[in-house]
Amino acid sequence: MFQEPVIRIQNLSHYYGQGVLRKQILFDINLNIYPGEIVLMTGPSGSGKTTLISLIGALRSAQYGSLNVLGQELVRASQSALVKIRRKAGYIFQAHNLLSFLTAQQNVEMAIKLQAHPRHVERQAQNILKAVGLGHRFHYYPDNLSGGQKQRVAIARALVNMPKLVLADEPTAALDKQSGRDVVEIMQKLAKEQGSTIVLVTHDNRILDIADRIVQIEDGYLFTSDPLQQSAKSLKQSS
Ligand code: ADP
Ligand code: MG
């Protein structure tokens, strides 16, 4: 694991609100995430998980400290730098966010067409839908798919461009046990095949075993078991 981290977070703090309403939400977060790792982030509701993952995904502006994602510093970054990172990451949310007036295949095709040089649009969309087990549902609209099937279309859409980084915020929250398990296993398999790094927020403890590492957020503080950071600490202590 002596590679450059895909995500390097140093002393990251975040505040919401202005004036007397200003409130600190994240406190001095430090975390390195390495290529190909699957990191699960857990913690109570309101502890700052969505805030942190949306900062990593460049969906909101980072304020204090340092946040380096795919080689780009995001603290006080320009809007165009943020957009560049957004285009490089794949996102999966709790609500699937599919467009209801497009079929499963068209939802996936749209993600391909947003790329600079889309190629083999139809074939790529169909292949990834087959990979998530929806080879028989290409032309179905979201309303005619089950919760688990919709979430699998969302995974197909997030992974079709082979992003180096996949960010998922409670992707199994709305699913029953078996569908939840299925969707994370599909994510895990596809991401391993593509060499992607996954950061997945969850408080579904039925899926914790897919993680290479689990980090915990409580009241805006992150607790980690980063092996490199721990060995650095024990080196310091023993010297
Ligand atoms: P989690 O995902 O762990 O439930 P969030 O990151 O969504 O936590 O929220 C952390 C805290 O920040 C909560 O107290 C929440 O009310 C607050 N918060 C979230 N989004 C905003 C916002 N846009 N403006 C002000 N406060 C917010
Ligand atoms: Mg949340």
- Position 194 scores a pLDDT of 87
46 touches ligand 1 (CB under 6 Å): yes
40-54 residue pLDDT tens = 999 999 999 999 999
Phi, psi of 38 (to 5 degrees): -110, 110
- Position 225 scores a pLDDT of 58
* Pocket-testing residue among 14, 15, 41, 50, ligand 1, by greatest number of atoms within 8 A of Cβ: 50
172 touches ligand 1 (CB under 6 Å): no
How would you write the pLDDT of the chain (239 residues) with one tens digit per residue? 568 999 999 999 999 999 999 999 999 999 999 999 999 999 999 999 999 999 999 999 999 999 999 999 999 999 999 999 998 999 998 887 899 999 999 999 999 998 889 999 999 999 999 999 999 999 999 999 999 999 999 999 999 998 999 999 999 888 888 888 888 998 899 888 888 999 999 988 888 999 999 999 999 999 975 555 544 444 545 54
Q: How many CB atoms lie within 10 A of CB 201?
A: 23
